Amino acid sequence: MKILIINAGSSSLKYQLLDMKTETLIAKGNCEKIGLADPVISYKHDGKEDVFKGAKNHEEAIKKVLDILVDKDNGVIKSFDEIDAIGHRVVMGGWIFKESTLIDDKVIEQIEKLSEMAPLHNPANAMGMRACKKVMPNIPQVAIFDTAFHATMPEKAYMYAIKYEDYEKYRIRRYGAHGTSHRYVVQELARVLNKDVKSVNAVTCHIGNGSSITAIKNGESVDTSMGLTPLQGVVMGTRSGDIDPSVVQFLCSHKNQTVDEVLNYLNKECGLLGVSGVSSDHRETTKAAVGGNKRAKLALDLLAYSVKKYIGSYLAVLNGTDAIVFTGGIGENSAEAREQILENMENLGVVLDKEKNNNFKRGQVELISADNSKIKIYVIPTDEELMMARDTVQIVKKLKKSK
Ligand code: ADP
């Protein structure tokens, strides 16, 4: 079975074609700067990379991607018919979608209705679906939600202590994000522990440009650090993470800015970038810190300390755990970040093996805890697209059975 995975943003559309018989990637690429000047489409396959002229809109982008995939000389499939289904990433499933769902017109409308909670993402995700429906009307499409994995959180974890009537009326609550990544790594963890995922407890740390920490009990999310929006939680590349809401009012009045402007600032100008003044990129900030830049060092300290606090609180929530898992661009690649986050946690049963941590092999599942660590520590590279393709396969198989 071949599955096309689409991750549509407002001006980009990332795609991957996977062969699910072997769970291998056939080709992937990105349509960048859709509708802007000089749009381009990249196409990676068989160890090569090509770049093509891009598209004016999402529909044209899909058409061009399909043309590239079936191209006589450079294509990887002979015709569209080889694509069995399409899986779409959706950022916000809100209170409506608790699992991956077969797409029809009503589902697309509901995804659009949830745009208020993810204004940058949901409209673009829906646009990608409409474009695919137009170009390939007979191919089943599946929506995979970043929030769905967290639908199992209990009320006490997802509620904010605001007036109950407002929670009911406006659905203001924690929804979380990165659910597909947390779900993938806990399944991988179950595999390496040789356990049924339903009996695995873990604290999973997805640390990238955006970051979230999740407490997983018996394979299900019971708490996560991101909230109504991805602004809440740990310190990130450009996001402040947790902050006293009074700071918003304070900044509004002192900088004479609107709430929207201050929220934009907290999302895009803070975090590593804002504190260091160097970069939102962890590698760049680390380089500056090593070179003696005190603010860069402070930014890294803030990030590591915020992750440590979430891990600690989730160890309390779970009453201990089988493992702590690191994933995401920083979690997978930065031995320094992992060491800084986990230092001085021995009394909680968390002991890093510094040598294993430093000598880990990139792109592989690695056990990096010391033999005497009560809690195992793993690096597990995430693969959200594979998880999405697995969901798509499952739903399409059910669909075929019911026909
Ligand atoms: P996104 O949240 O946008 O998907 P990623 O998960 O790709 O982000 O993470 C991006 C972050 O990962 C950046 O801060 C980058 O510096 C960091 N990163 C990527 N590779 C490395 C590396 N080899 N060492 C340290 N940090 C890395």
CB-based pocket (< 6 A), ligand 1: 208-210, 237, 281-283, 328-330, 333-334
Average pLDDT taken over every residue of the chain: 97
Domains of the chain, each with CATH number or no CATH = 2-145 (3.30.420.40), 197-384 (3.30.420.40)
Q: Which residue ranges of the chain lie beneath pLDDT 50?
A: none
Q: What is the pLDDT of residue 158?
A: 98
The percentage of residues in the chain with a pLDDT greater than 90, rounded to a whole number, is 96
CA of 13 to the centre of ligand 1 (A): 20
- The model carries a pTM of 0.96
Q: What is the pLDDT of residue 139?
A: 96
Q: Which of 14, 204, 330, 334 has most ligand 1 atoms within 8 Å of CB, for mutation?
A: 330
Q: What is the pLDDT of residues 338-350, one digit of tens each?
A: 999 999 999 999 9
CB atoms within 10 A of CB 110: 17
Tokens of 367: 């056990």
Q: Which of 275, 280, 283 has most ligand 1 atoms within 8 Å of CB, for mutation?
A: 283
Catalytic residue check, 46: no
Q: Are 185 and 325 in contact (CB under 8 A)?
A: yes
Q: Which of 46, 146, 166, 383 is flagged as catalytic? A: 146
CB atoms within 10 A of CB 49: 11
CA of 362 to the centre of ligand 1 (A): 13
Q: What is the pLDDT of residues 67-112, one digit of tens each?
A: 999 999 999 999 989 999 999 999 999 999 999 999 999 999 999 9
Q: What are phi and psi of 85, to 5 degrees?
A: -165, 165
Q: What is the pLDDT of residues 148-176, one digit of tens each?
A: 999 999 999 999 999 999 999 999 999 99
